[in-house]
Structure 1
């Protein structure tokens, strides 16, 4: 009988299967198409104790009780369909683990629905791409603690390790694991767009070659901006197209796709009433990019008046670095605020410092900055968005003028900079004691009798404006 089973041998599934096998666990695997399973066994499996199966019944029967089955399939309906297929063969106490990018509310629902069958369910956020899945991902399990305990040993062993600690922890109740993975992806969207905006300014404003931009990214990666996304960015800039020995990035169509987690992050922020404009701007950036034909048409309609900017190369690169640090901090700040709020609203009991710890390795948003963020949050666990801290204020204010400078350059050059602009405005909004919302509330009272409060008297007021 095998220790655990895995269904879904896509890129992530097959690499996770190999990771489990290489950590000396016996594994049963199944894929919807028989050919895929056979190819996996013939081409990828070597000495790992992995056994293929071609029907659900024999697959389930090959597992030791309580059975533990990881689903690595597309989120949404495919997960529900697969659960429905598995249920006739499962018994009390068996465990289904959803390792896909499922919507956290779907995970909440499935946990509740499966109680009637006495089948356990664990939502497992997995980050690290195909390399991480094979060599050690960051794992974010959520559900009942006793459910997690059934697979804790396996998850801790296959996870990435940083400072001799596994990048896996019990995240919290119900859909907490998939919620945290969703926020991880929202932050990921933002960091990616911020780096891309810096790339755009360097190539269009400073007229740097792809190699020169790669050199800059590499230098940044050796400093405070060190991160997985910065590392792959400089490697991308260096990569040449095998057909013409020119940078491959120059030939990639400028339409960014998405799978939904960023959109879910924005929707959830609105539902929870937590401001996360930079995370939303990252989604908008991808949406705008998708309208390629419309952008071509409009670029020929609207004349961009040439501005002869005499940019200081060294200063601009310096300010870009500082602005990216500012943006990165703000993106993590908004994400952690959402996690803290969701933990309270949904009773997830998430430890955000532990979340940051398991993001230090294996995952896509691992970055040197995380150590600084953990330091801040450990100084004050009530500091829900990092900002109520002198270190945070000094860090951001020390980079604010650089962010403003980059924003102005982008505007002068007609270069979109959604992350740079939005992060700056978000920060300005939160440090503004007297905002313009008094006029908005007056407007609401004028047309809808929505009432207002006064700064000089207690109570609720309404004015007959005409």
Structure 2
């Protein structure tokens, strides 16, 4: 029997589609799943999709024996304990020099711990972020592999072929250790911010502007032909046009306003706080999901608290003018959201000596992934101009974009507040921008308070050193 180039364990939606992707690129792949039914289902799909070179196995030892050496095994199972259990079973049959690649969303420190544990057996271990959902996994995802360069070299011939192709394969060696998982986690945090900003734009246009779903569909299609062109804007336009299969009107209006999540957004906010990087847009997106879960409370609160909307909700604007202001405000907020995420990546990369290349990371996000957008090409060029750029806000082109959109940005946030509409991501982005651009803030008073009650000391503006004042005297 011909040995397979690579193996894959875990045949849920992402695993099955990634395996078929590998096979469709001409690489023979062996697959294994705890429940054999999914293995059989994957073999059936491989046959239906053109007799792809995919072989399923019922026993782990036979699966491992089917791989050419050094063996390359991708695992796509639920994060946490299932990953450890899968590694333990694989390790019984693998040999020194073999490679395990975890393609799931995993906490980066778990990846680093596992790499140390399997190194004692001579095994290589990598964490590889896979973005793009079911369609991306099958047709070309954005891949973010991190770990030893030797491991990347083993996988490179395969992953450069299965990745999305936009100005080259959307994959690069992110860095050592848990860098791949970490960058994928922050990618998902940026995704949270992006989605929340779009949802707030929708709320303003619908509630203040009275836009119908048909008008929203047309508007988002128009936006997707300009500066906001992206996967999320594209699918949002499509969502507005889907009819309810069980009733009248559009399906979007029948969906309960309660958002789920799997944890990467929470991890992003937690790690940002730990390394002292402000991320108000991403934090607002997380908070919005948490508040959405309090549906029963919100129903009760709606009965308790009323709001008198202004007689002219549009504040003298036409619907066309409102749409244009929202577009400009959305783009400005998006710049801030990405700046925050990239600041997390840069800061952690410096602390961990990962030597992360932000321009390269932006490039591989241009295709395959959920946050793919034409906007990312401009981010790549910004870091090509200055690899040490302290923040995206300092790039001359993006700085000019923010400057020229200020008026629309402020108008949209003010209009939302006047109409009683919560826009935490829009307002958080604007507050981030305003805090960043002010040479002197109100933090001097906070530090004085800290010194008053806790003798935490303070610095002065007129002389060096650390000072304490006996304020009560």
Pair in the same fold by TM > 0.5? yes
Aligned partners of 2:451 and 2:418: how far apart in 1?
A: 39
Q: Deviations over 1:392-428 (max 9, x none)?
A: 2211011111111111111111111111000000010
Deviation, structure 1 residue 43:
4.1
Count of aligned pairs between the two proteins: 465
Match of 1:266 in 2: 269
Aligned partners of 2:27 and 2:42: how far apart in 1?
A: 18
Aligned partners of 2:380 and 2:5: how far apart in 1?
A: 35
Aligned mate of 1:49, from 25, 49, 53: 53
Work out whether residues 159 and 166 of structure 1, in 8 Å CA contact, stay in contact via their aligned partners in 2.
Answer: yes
Match of 1:231 in 2: 234
Aligned mate of 1:457, from 450, 463, 469: 463
Aligned mate of 1:175, from 174, 178, 198: 178
Match of 2:165 in 1: 161
What's the secondary structure of 2:8's corresponding residue?
Answer: strand
What's the secondary structure of 2:200's corresponding residue?
Answer: helix
Match of 2:11 in 1: 9
Aligned mate of 1:404, from 402, 407, 410: 410
Deviation, structure 1 residue 14:
0.8
Deviation, structure 1 residue 374:
1.5
Aligned partners of 1:372 and 1:39: how far apart in 2?
A: 42
Match of 2:33 in 1: 31
Aligned mate of 1:381, from 387, 390, 400: 387
Q: Deviations over 1:354-376 (max 9, x none)?
A: 00000111111011111111222
Gaps of 5+ in 2: none
Aligned partners of 1:29 and 1:36: how far apart in 2?
A: 10
Work out whether residues 46 and 52 of structure 2, in 8 Å CA contact, stay in contact via their aligned partners in 1.
Answer: no
Match of 2:244 in 1: 241
Aligned partners of 1:385 and 1:222: how far apart in 2?
A: 27
Going from structure 1 to structure 2, the CA distance change for 1:326 and 1:462 (only over 3 Å counts) comes to same
Match of 1:206 in 2: 209
Match of 1:439 in 2: 445
Aligned mate of 2:351, from 345, 351, 358: 345
State the TM-score, normalizing by the size of structure 2.
Answer: 0.97
What's the secondary structure of 1:415's corresponding residue?
Answer: coil
Aligned CA RMSD, in angstroms, stands at: 1.1
State the TM-score, normalizing by the size of structure 1.
Answer: 0.98
Work out whether residues 445 and 451 of structure 1, in 8 Å CA contact, stay in contact via their aligned partners in 2.
Answer: yes
Q: Deviations over 1:38-93 (max 9, x none)?
A: 22222454311111111211111111111111111111111111111211111101
Q: Deviations over 1:168-212 (max 9, x none)?
A: 111111111111101110110111010011111111111111111
Aligned partners of 1:463 and 1:310: how far apart in 2?
A: 51
